[in-house]
Amino acid sequence: MTPGRQPTYEMVLNHVEKQLMSGDLRPGDRLPPERELAAQLGASRQAVREAMRVLQAQGVIRSQVGTGDGSGTVVVPAPARALGRVLALHLAVDSFPVDDVAEARVMLERFSAGLAARRRKAADLLRMEIELDAMDADLGPEEFSDPDVAFHVAIAGAAGNRLVNELTVAIRESVRGLLGAVREQGDWEALRDRLRAEHRQIYTALANGEAAAAADLIELHVRNFHRHF
């Protein structure tokens, strides 16, 4: 490939992405067969296949061999977790400053906590209680991360905004490994006790429907956590 020249498969990707953005392609629509799409774009069939693999990995299309109703390459409603996985991977491989990550978390989690205090249902609170109880066990940093992340995800879920929920999940997952560094610093028990107490305070505000208090408490919690690193 000539230096600076766009790979052919990216040209195919751009074509499909433009159709998705414009609404010419919608969930349930079928893409043209590989041979037809290659001829239409002046690309090789290998480039088309590579582009389709990328789109399938992103959860945008589903490809099935055969001749029945479900065969061919079909646009599907992208699962929310596909977005979260892509974001989490980008955060994992790029060295964003801790302060930038903290600010992004504050923005998203304040929004989620405020909405969750107004919209939370009994099932949402029960889910949070389960994670709070799990955090009360004698857990190390890595084990503690699971209910910790799940608690924050439960708050975002209770807010009811799917996009904010997935952004929150992606960023929260990306900082999961930070707790692992605490063991080496030798102050894990003190941090764990503080995180437990802060989580309980946030939960109480959410359960009482105190939106402003919940938002303030979760901001303080996030900033305190990142200040530790």
pLDDT (mean) for 29-54: 92
Q: Mean of the per-residue pLDDT values for the chain? A: 86
Instruction: Assign 63 to helix, strand or coil.
Output: strand
The answer to whether the predicted template modeling score (pTM) of the entire model surpasses 0.85 is: no
Pick the CATH number of 8-75 from 1.10.10.10, 3.40.50.720, 1.10.510.10, 3.90.1640.30: 1.10.10.10
Give the model confidence (pLDDT) of 120-139 as tens digits. Answer: 999 999 999 999 999 999 99
Among candidate residues 68, 80, 113, 109, the one with its CA nearest the CA of residue 212: 113
**For residue 49, what pLDDT band results from cuts at 50, 70 and 90?**
very high
- In whole angstroms, give the CA distance from residue 65 to residue 192: 51
- Topology of the domain covering 80-227: Four Helix Bundle (Hemerythrin (Met), subunit A) (1.20.120)
Q: 26 Cβ partners below 8 Å, 6+ apart?
A: 75
